[in-house]
Structure 1
Amino acid sequence: MNPSKPNNNLPTLVGLSAVVMWSATVGLFRSVSEIFGATGGAALIFTVGGLLACLVLGFPKLKTFPRPYLWIGGALFVAYEVALALSIGFALNREQAIELGMINYLWPSLTILFAVLAGQQRGSWLLLPALLSSFCGIVLVVKGDSAWSVQMLWQNMASNPTGYGLAFFAAGTWAVYSVFTRRFGNGVNGVPLFLVATAIVLWGKYALGNEPALSLHIGGLLQVAVMGALMAAAYSCWNHGIQHGNITILATMSCFTPVLSALIANLWLGTTPSTGLVYGVAMVTAGSFLCWVVTRRNALDPGKH
């Protein structure tokens, strides 16, 4: 080992542990939203996640935050979380909730694309077919078992434009957050603060909107506790990984998240995956993996960014 170069294997492994924990989010988000409502359920989850993150990691001192990371990074984090949670909660049924969750997994390929554009990673023209594979996979996910046509795709998305719009927005926002945090985070972990901020935004929406009243549901509260714990741990690990580890490996190995997530969500929610979902997830995964193959030999020294 060259002592002059930092060893980023451990931070990379820490970041990869988040992939495993994230795989349970789609199914749990949906089941909690069915019990407490889309906004109320998400607010409960982020409240628990934020409190646990503060207990374990401590509430960060604002004076240690680089201002771009605090305000812009924090806004990106909150926007992503709210968009993802509400997109799944607003799904018309459980099958569509899984579809919307899979759209979110465009972010690994988009992260690599944005890292190349930001000069954090070298790429080549072969990145384009990799990205095309991921986007074609999302088309198959939205298509489901229906026959292919542009009109059919439009009708599927038009059935729930808010849900689909939020899902696509979430995918792009998290990719931007990952690249932005690596550039401006300066080693600071703002996850506890950002989770609390997300909870505050969601509770504000709950208070101002025409939301159903929350009721005591022991099973639902247990799911909230599990989801909150997974969230606090996953985002803390990911934040550490993208700041100190190999962003290309993290973004690309996370390509396996949709496979594991789709499996867990279908088992948890008791749904049967459509043919389009199976092939679409495979293409999203293949696209992300190809992104890694294209860029892995051209990685820039992470210590320089």
Structure 2
Amino acid sequence: MFGVAAAGFSRGRIDPPTLVGMSAILMWSATVGLYRNISEIFGPIGGSALIFTVSGIVALIHAGPKAFRGHSPRYLLIGGAMFVTYEIALALAVGFAQTRAQSVEVGLINYLWPSFTIALAIWAGHARAGIMVIPGILICLLGVFWAATGSANFSLAAMVHNIGSNPLPYILAFIAAITWPLYTILTKGMAQGRSAVPLFLLATAALLWVYYGVSDQPTLVYNSKGAMMVLTFGVLTTLAYSAWTYGVNHGNLTLMATASYFSPLLSVMLSSVLLSMVPGLNFWLGASLVTAGSLICLAATKR
């Protein structure tokens, strides 16, 4: 796979559909920064509810009537439950982080999903892998732990103290990192080539609005900057899914898959811009290790 990817990059054979597909990776990498900004304005629960309401409406408008047709009950129930769990866990993990730096840390945990997806695919019999997949996963975990230390030098005590001071976001981010691979692998056959993402986004919004209504949450007050961010998030979500689907159908999937494993680095970079912060060396080291570990897993895997 790396040979094919390298050949594609070096010979300049990245065609327009592949570039369109790769643009989805860039849009998804902005998720953490946007989540955090919106949660700071509207609160973790209210902000997340607004995000998925707008995202669901925009996605539904884009998909049209076909969003409601042809879905199996198993896909809607099982796939929907996993999709909703993933989205809520990630959104609240970022929103409940005590600081912007911590939100980037928990966002990085989410990017364990590529290596976890490979591990699950191997377990489910969808792929074969060499022994190198084990050090690949361990390197990914080391990258997350390194970022969680809060300093350039890895320290187990510092990591435990940092996580122990506010464990809920880390737990939620880890749940997200596990749930997305489950959704990816288990719903492949259930979906039968169809997508109920607009319905899943609206279901996520509905649950968050229920939680908002029954819990003690701050009153939502209109904020023009926040409203623009929510609208931007909704449009980006739809564009990202559409761009990725177009790239998968018409572009070079090998290049797209390889490029997606650089999401941790892109996420840290875009989060630093959106959150007006300068990531420390620990973030770059952690993101680099997660990326390297994911690529090792990818190289050790055969379909």
TM-score range, shorter chain: 0.7 to 0.9
Matched ranges for 1:269-288 at <5 A: 269-288=275-294
1:76 to 42, 62, 82: 82
Q: Residue 133 of structure 1 contacts residue 283 of structure 1 at CA under 8 Å; is this kept in 2? A: yes
Q: Find the counterpart in structure 1 of residue 171 from structure 2.
A: 165
Deviations 1:186-239 (A, max 9, x none): 101111110110110111111111111011111110011001111123245557
Deviation at 1:248, TM superposition (A): 7.5
Q: Give the equivalent residue in structure 1 for 2:5.
A: none
Deviation at 1:254, TM superposition (A): 1.6
- Write the deviation string for residues 28-83 of structure 1: whole angstroms up to 9, x where unpaired: 11001100000111111111110011101025465611232111111000000000
Task: Give the corresponding residue for 1:189.
Answer: 195
- Contact kept, 8 Å, 2:153 with 2:282, in 1: the verdict is no
Deviations 1:273-294 (A, max 9, x none): 1221110100000011112212
Q: How many residues align structurally?
A: 289
Distance change >3 Å, CA 146–CA 255, structure 1 → 2: same
Residue identity matched to 1:292: L
In 2: Cα distance, 1:203 partner to 1:264 partner:
28
Partner SS state of residue 55, structure 2: helix
Deviation at 1:240, TM superposition (A): 7.5
Displacement after TM superposition at 1:94 (Å): 0.7
The alignment partner of 2:126 has SS state of coil
- Displacement of 1:181: 2.4
Change beyond 3 A, Cα 1:176–1:250? farther
Name the residue aligned to 2:219.
213
Structure 2: which amino acid aligns with 1:69?
Y
Question: What are the within-5 Å matches in structure 2 for residues 112-127 of structure 1?
Answer: 112-127=118-133
Q: Is the 8 A contact 2:35 2:48 kept in 1?
A: yes
| Change over 3 Å in CA distance of 1:249–1:69 after alignment to 2 | farther
Residue 234 (structure 2) pairs with residue 228 (structure 1)? yes
Show the counterpart of 1:58.
64
- Secondary structure, aligned partner of 2:262: helix
Of 96, 101, 105 in structure 1, the residue corresponding to residue 107 of structure 2 is 101
Name the residue aligned to 2:25: 19
**Structure 2 gap segments, 5+ residues each:** 1-14
**1:151 equivalent in alignment to 2:157:** yes
- Whether 1:176 aligns to 2:182 is yes
Identity %: 45
Q: Deviations over 1:149-176 (max 9, x none)?
A: 4332221111111111001110111111
SS of the equivalent of 1:262 reads helix
Tell me, yes or no, if the aligned pair for 2:152 and 2:281 is still in contact at 8 Å: no
59-68 vs 236-245, which moves further: 236-245
Unaligned 5+ segments in structure 1 are: 1-8, 300-305
**Aligned Cα root-mean-square deviation (Å):** 2.4
Separation in structure 2 between the aligned mates of residue 174 and residue 292 of structure 1, nearest angstrom: 17
In the alignment, is residue 254 of structure 1 matched against residue 260 of structure 2?
A: yes
Q: Output the TM-score relative to the length of structure 2.
A: 0.88
Q: Name the aligned partner's letter for residue 132 of structure 2.
A: L
Rounded Cα–Cα distance in structure 1 between residues aligned with 2:29 and 2:291: 14
Instruction: Please say which of residues 97-106 and 116-125 is displaced more in the overlay.
Output: 116-125
Deviations 1:237-283 (A, max 9, x none): 55777899998865543211111111111112111212211101000
In structure 1, give the amino acid aligned to 2:72: P
TM-score, normalization by structure 1? 0.87
Query: How many angstroms apart in 1 are the aligned matches of 2:126 and 2:248?
Result: 12
Contact kept, 8 Å, 1:140 with 1:276, in 2: the verdict is yes
Separation (CA, whole Å) in 2 of partners of 1:116 and 1:237? 28
